[in-house]
Amino acid sequence: MSKIALVLQSFKLDAPVAIVLLTIWLVCARLRRNAFRTKRAPPQVPLLELLGSPGSAKSTLARRLGRLVTGERDFEVTAVPPREEDFWLCVSETGVLALDNVNEAPRYLSSALAQAVTGTTSKKRTHYSNTELTKVTSRATIIITAVHAPLLRAETMDRMLILRLAALASYRSNDDLEREFRAHEKDAAREIDRLCRVVELRLPTASPTASHRLADFERIGRVVADELGEGPALTAALAGMSDERIKVLCDADPCFAALWEIANDPASTGRQYTLEELLDEICKRLGHRADFQTVLRDPQRLGIWLGDVRGRAAGLLRVERHRSNRGVRYSIEPGR
């Protein structure tokens, strides 16, 4: 068992490959933090979303991960700032932010998280009494915890690493968890630093991968997995990331679940639908479920919704729009 795995062994992570994903995430986050001091180009770090029922120690895990990235003993999780201005103050002050219990997300949060994770630059007045402008760059490594996935918009979904935690089998006090963490904290931090040095040496020669938003995570992950002898586990882990996004989208939206069924139905392969035909197919699969009232019954609104789906399910579901002399038709296929 790796030194990083020893730090995480107290938590009941659902996926067997979750330790591999968290190890890669920690290396990416530390490399980004080091980049501020070395002036190197910082890697993109996924927005880490920890989902689990009450009692699954989500907040404790977020706190531990923050400490491993920053090295700060007093690192703490925080509530979601009610105003966007306060959120950006938190981002500029810390660089690593853990938002706790994000079950009801403010309207600004989805787009603000996407900007903060990617990095954004804005210009502001230096002082209210003059017209001099100063450039402010904001970028942060962000963890959020929630019971159910609160952020389903395209700009966050394709930047997100989702991990689920099960409730702990028996009650454990914070003091007990803290003692166990401290016993392995220094060894885990040294292991993260070692892996960062390996990545910095090998990454320039690492074979390039896809150019999607999590490409840095995948490239760094391949170097880390090779170093740890976890190549097959990484392949399973990357596939698991896609499966988790699909599960979150299907759980949150019955229409998307029906669309996913259509995409994976052999009878639908190669077929092109008008909006009316596609609406009929969705209705058949939803049947008389109580939540059918949430379905967009108007074909025109369905077309707008499909445009949003193309963003949320990028890389998972291919929704193609075709124009011909017969009008506009849509094809629905799995993206993998």
Structure confidence by residue, pLDDT tens digits, 79-96: 999 888 888 888 877 789
Q: How confident is the model at residue 294 (pLDDT cuts 50, 70, 90)?
A: very low
Q: How confident is the model at residue 207 (pLDDT cuts 50, 70, 90)?
A: low
Residue 293 phi, psi (nearest 5): -65, -20
Q: Is the pLDDT of residue 270 over 60?
A: yes
Average pLDDT over residues 148-161: 79
Per the CB < 8 A criterion, the answer to whether 224 and 199 are in contact is yes
- 299 or 105: whose pLDDT is higher? 105
Q: Is the pLDDT of residue 288 over 70?
A: no
Longest dimension (CA), the chain: 70
The pLDDT value given to residue 283: 82
pLDDT tens-digit map of 23-78: 999 999 999 888 766 556 778 899 999 999 888 889 999 999 999 999 888 899 99
The domain ranges of the chain are 3-246, 253-334
Q: Is the pLDDT of residue 317 over 60?
A: yes
Domain 253-334 CATH (choose: 1.10.10, 3.90.550, 3.30.160, 1.10.3470): 1.10.10
Per the CB < 8 A criterion, the answer to whether 310 and 319 are in contact is yes
**CATH architecture of the domain covering 3-246:** 3-Layer(aba) Sandwich (3.40)
Per the CB < 8 A criterion, the answer to whether 54 and 100 are in contact is no
Question: What b/e string do you get for 237-262 counting C-beta neighbours within 10 Å, with b at 16 or more?
Answer: bbebbeebbbebbbeebbbbbbbbbb
51-65, 101-115, 191-205, 240-254 — which is least confidently predicted? Answer: 240-254
Average pLDDT over residues 147-169: 82
Q: How confident is the model at residue 290 (pLDDT cuts 50, 70, 90)?
A: very low
- The token pair at 61 is 């895990």
The pLDDT value given to residue 47: 92
Q: How confident is the model at residue 304 (pLDDT cuts 50, 70, 90)?
A: confident
User: Cβ contacts of residue 146 below 8 Å, gap of 6+?
Assistant: 49, 50, 51, 58, 101, 102, 103
User: Cβ contacts of residue 163 below 8 Å, gap of 6+?
Assistant: 13, 14, 15, 18, 21, 22, 48, 49, 50, 51, 244
Identity (one letter) of the amino acid at 290?
A
Q: How far apart are CA 185 and CA 45, in angstroms?
A: 22
